[in-house]
Amino acid sequence: MSKGSVYKAELMWILPSIALPVIMLGLLLWAAIGRGHDLPGVEGTLDPAQLAKTPPFDKPGTFPAGPNRYQVNMVAGIWSFTPNAVRVPAGSTVEFAVTSRDIVHGIIIKGTSANVMVVPGQVTRFSARFEKPGEYPFVCHEYCGVAHHIMFGKVIAEAKK
């Protein structure tokens, strides 16, 4: 191998190894600034011991929030979700506000992109659309103790009559 081709081979490895972290940093900045992915602000915090007096968690349940829109206020705790059945017409967009009254839980809703952590003292907000009639089961996906596996529920999207 000539000296020149050795340099060339080294460059072939060195340049991508410099480019990769630069690309990753770029994607990180794009996600953080461009897409607004950041840590929850202080406005999303609450006292988990005072949920019964803290809106919107003083009224857990499903509420109309406009045409084809619903608001779900949900409290997670060992080992259940309140409410654990959410009933909406098919074609609805549901905005969830979820918090935990005890320890860290999670929620993932089958058939949607909803997959979030539920942390005591924090309000987790996300929305999901339930286009097709049917059942969309959800589970806690963060190990939370001996009965973690029974922590589940479902969204029921009802066919329009």
Binding-site ranges for ligand CUA (CB under 6 A): 79, 105, 140, 142-144, 148, 151
> Smallest distance, Å, CB 105 to ligand CUA?
4
**Would you state the structure tokens that stand for residue 112, as one six-digit string?**
């949607």
Q: Please state the φ and ψ torsions of residue 160, each to the nearest 5 degrees.
A: -70, 140
Residue closer to ligand CUA, measured from CB, 79 or 126: 79
Q: Which residue carries 């935990």 as its tokens?
A: 100
> Smallest distance, Å, CB 24 to ligand CUA?
31
> Smallest distance, Å, CB 95 to ligand CUA?
21
